[in-house]
Amino acid sequence: NDTIDLDQLTGWLTRFRDLVTEKVAYLTELDSAIGDADHGSNMTRGMGAVLERIQASPVGTVDELFKGVGMTLVTSVGGASGPLYGTFFLRIGTTAGPVKALDASGLAAALRAGLDGVVARGKAEAGDKTMFDVLAPALDAFDAALIVSSDISSAARAAYSAARTGRDATEPLLARKGRASYLGERSIGHVDPGAASTSLLFQALAEILDE
């Protein structure tokens, strides 16, 4: 795959909705250990609303698609993850612009802008035990893979592999951002819920590009 088109990008979002729905109990369990047990329901409600919007009003360009996704998440999900995921997708949209498809470097730039948006909003740094600890290494792996080959699916597989490693690496960390940080030392020994859902985001991308 040298490009990813609107149907595939919609497929990515659909697959992400399906994965958070499949793993809702797992995400809830992670957030009950170090948060308020709503990350599973936040993600399924948010992505459910996203897919409803896409089905109700089809879009013609990548920026329209992701601006709609971002706005829906910001408005339908309370808590930290709504604005953070919302900003991630909004920035993807504004960076992609009014196009019908993205090539590998266009997708890399859009995802990177999404990460920058998450940082602008949440001020997370590496090792703070947040979704940043999955997003940043996944995008680094995505970029590194594109130096070797412009194949988006192999870059997505590399990103997903780095995402799983980043997710697992949050377990021994002490949380420094979000609700989990209120627990101090007691946040150690649990995988971060947002890191886990962000890993599903890359799983979804790798899977739809392999179809």
The percent helix, strand, coil of the chain (3-state, each to 5) is 75, 5, 25
Note whether 134 and 167 are within 8 A (CB): yes
Q: Interface with Mg ion includes 35 (CB under 5 A)? A: yes
The DSSP call for residue 186 is G
Stretch that binds Mg ion, among 29-37, 85-93, 101-109, 136-144 (CB under 5 A): 29-37
The total number of residues shown for the chain amounts to: 211
**x/- string (CB under 6 A) for ligand ADP, residues 86-105?**
--------------------
Of 42 and 76, CB closest to ligand ADP: 42
d(CA 202, CA 21): 15
Find which of Mg ion, ligand ADP, none residue 194 binds, CB within 5 to 8 Å per kind. Answer: ligand ADP
Contacting ligand ADP (CB under 6 A), which of 50, 96, 131, 208? 131
Find which of Mg ion, ligand ADP, none residue 195 binds, CB within 5 to 8 Å per kind. Answer: ligand ADP
Long-range contacts of 64-71 (CB under 8 A, 24+ apart): 64/93, 64/98, 65/6, 65/9, 65/10, 65/93, 66/9, 66/90, 66/92, 66/93, 66/96, 66/110, 67/93, 67/94, 68/93, 69/13, 69/93
Of 84 and 108, CB closest to Mg ion: 84
Contacting Mg ion (CB under 5 A), which of 64, 79, 113, 188? 79
Of 40 and 93, CB closest to Mg ion: 40
Residues paired with residue 3 on neighbouring β-strands, in sequence order: 103
d(CA 153, CA 4): 9
Contacting ligand ADP (CB under 6 A), which of 6, 19, 54, 84? 84
Contact footprint for ligand ADP (CB under 6 A):
31, 35-36, 38-39, 42, 79-81, 84, 118, 122-124, 130-132, 177-179, 192-195
